[in-house]
């Protein structure tokens, strides 16, 4: 079986995008603690596996900076400021994404029915393979969270979860990184 299929992600051709996990909006997000725990696991795993991360902030003057718990794990990553709901509406985002030279997009963030959804559809239209980490996206309400995930799937995105994704990136139990990844998910 080939792992080069667009159905699979690998640590050499994937990039993680964290959309708008900002202080003011994060305070009112449905199941925010669960989202943050899973996102922290995903960030730690990405660092072990060498998967780059892009971070966006929607109108930071209005919604605040990236939540400190996330920023602490990504101290060297400068957020890409955006005003368009879709990340792809910002030239700076597209330039940063192109610099990674990766075609598998791992989407996380808030809100699933607005910025994550619009980014997903635009990335699919640009020819990227998009994998939505369903336990790392949310909205202010469960209904909008579910709607966003459903619409992204209907548009052609692949749905995954934090643990599923980390082991897919790891690919084999023979990896010297297995213990580190196993510690993260337990």
Whether residue 106 lies inside any domain: the answer is yes
130 compared with 163, residue with greater pLDDT: 130
153 within some domain: yes
Q: Range of 96's domain?
A: 14-185
Q: Which two tokens stand for residue 33?
A: 């603690």
> 43-57, 131-145, 159-173: which has the minimum mean pLDDT?
159-173
In a domain, 150, yes or no: yes
| Confidence at 145, pLDDT banded by 50, 70, 90 | very high
Is 88 among the residues known to form the active site?
no
Q: Provide the CATH number for the domain around residue 25.
A: 3.40.50.850
- Asked whether residue 5 is assigned to any structural domain, the reply reads no
79 near 90, Cβ under 8 Å? no
User: What's the CA gap between 125 and 143, in Å, rounded?
Assistant: 25
Q: Do the strands 14-19 and 53-58 form a parallel or antiparallel pair, or are they unpaired? A: parallel
Look at residue 171 in the predicted model and tell me its pLDDT. Answer: 76
When pLDDT is averaged across residues 64-90 and rounded to a whole number, the result is 95
Is 120 annotated in the active site?
A: no
What is the pTM for the complete model shown?
0.91
Q: Is residue 94 part of a domain?
A: yes
Q: Which of 82, 87, 122, 136 is catalytic?
A: 82
Q: Pick the range with the lowest mean pLDDT from 2-11, 21-30, 34-43, 112-121.
A: 2-11
Residue 5, pLDDT score: 57
Answer whether residue 1 is part of any domain. Answer: no
Number of domains observed in the structure of the chain: 1
Q: What is the pLDDT of residues 88-128, one digit of tens each?
A: 999 999 999 999 999 999 999 999 999 999 999 999 999 99
Tokens of 150: 């459903």
- Secondary structure, 3-state, 106-134: EEEEECHHHHHHHHHHHHHHCCCEEEEEE
Is 53 inside a domain boundary?
yes
The residue from 115, 120, 122, 135 that is catalytic is 115
Has residue 3 been placed in a domain? Answer: no
pLDDT given at position 182: 79
Known catalytic residue at 115: yes
- Contact, 90 vs 57, CB < 8 A? no
- pLDDT category at 38 given cuts 50, 70, 90 is very high
In this model, does residue 142 exceed pLDDT 80? Answer: yes
Mean pLDDT of the chain: 91
Confidence of residue 169 (pLDDT cuts 50, 70, 90): confident
- For residues 162 and 185, is the Cβ–Cβ distance under 8 A? yes
């Amino acid at each position: 079986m080939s792992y080069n299929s667009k159905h699979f992600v690998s640590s050499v051709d994937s990039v993680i995008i964290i959309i708008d996990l900002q202080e003011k909006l994060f305070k009112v997000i449905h199941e925010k603690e669960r989202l943050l725990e899973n996102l922290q696991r995903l960030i730690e795993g990405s660092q072990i596996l060498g998967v780059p991360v892009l971070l966006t902030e929607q109108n930071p003057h209005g919604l605040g900076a990236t939540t400190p718990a996330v920023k602490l794990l990504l101290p060297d990553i400068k957020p890409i400021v955006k005003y368009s709901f879709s990340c792809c509406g910002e030239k700076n985002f597209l330039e940063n994404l192109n610099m990674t030279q990766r075609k598998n997009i791992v989407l996380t963030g808030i809100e699933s029915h607005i910025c994550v959804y619009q980014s997903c559809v635009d990335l699919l239209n640009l020819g990227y393979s998009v994998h939505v980490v369903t336990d790392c996206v949310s909205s202010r309400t469960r209904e909008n969270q579910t709607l966003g995930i459903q619409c992204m799937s209907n548009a052609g995105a692949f749905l995954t979860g934090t643990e599923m994704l980390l082991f897919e990136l790891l690919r084999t139990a023979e990896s010297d990184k297995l213990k580190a990844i196993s510690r993260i998910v337990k």
